[in-house]
Amino acid sequence: MEKTLVEDAAVQNEPSSNGHEHRHGRDAQSVKQQLLNLDRIDFDGVDIAVIRFNRPEQRNPIDKETIASLSELLDLLMAGEATPDAIVLTGNGSTFSAGGDLKGYQTLYRDPARFRRFMEDFEDVCRKLSTVSALTVAMVNGTCVAGGLEISLACDLITMSDGARIGDGHLQFAQLPGAGGSQRLVRAIGVQQAKKWLLTAELYDAATADKAGLIALIAQKEELESRTFELIAKSAKLTPLGRTRMKELVNIAQVTTLDEGLQQELNLVFDYATTSYDATEGLHAFAARRPPNYRGE
């Protein structure tokens, strides 16, 4: 039932087994081995695009083909009018992603120009995940290592199964994180914890990741999807423009000094408060004691 890529916004609706409506896009092109699956789900009125890494027999590697397909799919999802409220990344099988294709790297390293392009494309995908207007969530259903962690760190939120494990792992095979793993992990859990994770290459359970401040929630594996969707719905039902601007504020905090961030916060909030419909609508709805009618503008 799931489709590899989306051709356009035209979808067919059908009920899912849990009572929520599934909307499946049509194929845009043939992708070898169906690297990714896409499922559009209506969860209590919230449009959620679920992207699944789909090579479980290889532990869902993040290679150049996967990166190219994910980049294209993100562009297609965010183009036009029918953009989703949220984008969820997860893995088919028992693994979220075990990271890069180590065998493929042996060839890629011998072609520096191609390797550089791969690194730049990988970081570009991570940048898209962190800056798109939709809420982005890494739903870690199983082992999440190296490149899988880097993609997760680029998302707005990480949710995790209680039986999953997560970590950097690059040094286990004498590799280094090249798609923001070292930079984003430090900002996510602090210098000392990040050094521990990076320099030991160990994997950690959900409770440890939660204690470190990396993840938004832990759930039993059979409840992970529903709990993740419930969390998404809490945010998606708020002002979409306000949510996007809030993401911008958080991103500013990660790339500027405190003084620069405070000045950019002042400028962004002033513009939002004085020019957006949603900011004024929120105040009017509060005063009138009625539900707000946000427009995302």
Across 155-175, b (16+ Cβ under 10 Å) vs e yields bbbbbbbeebbbbbbbeeeeb
**Mean of the per-residue pLDDT values for the chain?**
85
Q: Which of 236, 259, 279 is the last residue of a domain?
A: 236
In a domain, residue 297? The reply is: no
The pLDDT of residue 5 is above 50: no
Say whether both 255 and 135 belong to one domain.
no
Give dist(CA 164, CA 143) in Å, integer. 5
Locate 286 and state its tokens.
């509060």
The CATH number given to whatever domain includes residue 21 is 3.90.226.10
The pLDDT of residue 4 is above 50: no
In a domain, residue 113? The reply is: yes
Domain encompassing residue 111? 12-236
- pLDDT for residue 108: 80
Domain count, the chain: 2
Across-strand partners of 147? none
Say whether both 176 and 254 belong to one domain.
no
Say whether both 228 and 199 belong to one domain.
yes
- pLDDT for residue 204: 95
Give dist(CA 181, CA 184) in Å, integer. 6
The pLDDT of residue 29 is above 70: no
CB 215 within 8 A of CB 206: yes
205-261 confidence digits (pLDDT tens):
999 999 999 999 999 999 999 999 999 999 988 888 888 999 999 989 888 889 999
Say whether both 154 and 45 belong to one domain.
yes
In a domain, residue 201? The reply is: yes
The arithmetic mean of pLDDT across residues 147-168, rounded, is 94
The pLDDT of residue 1 is above 50: no
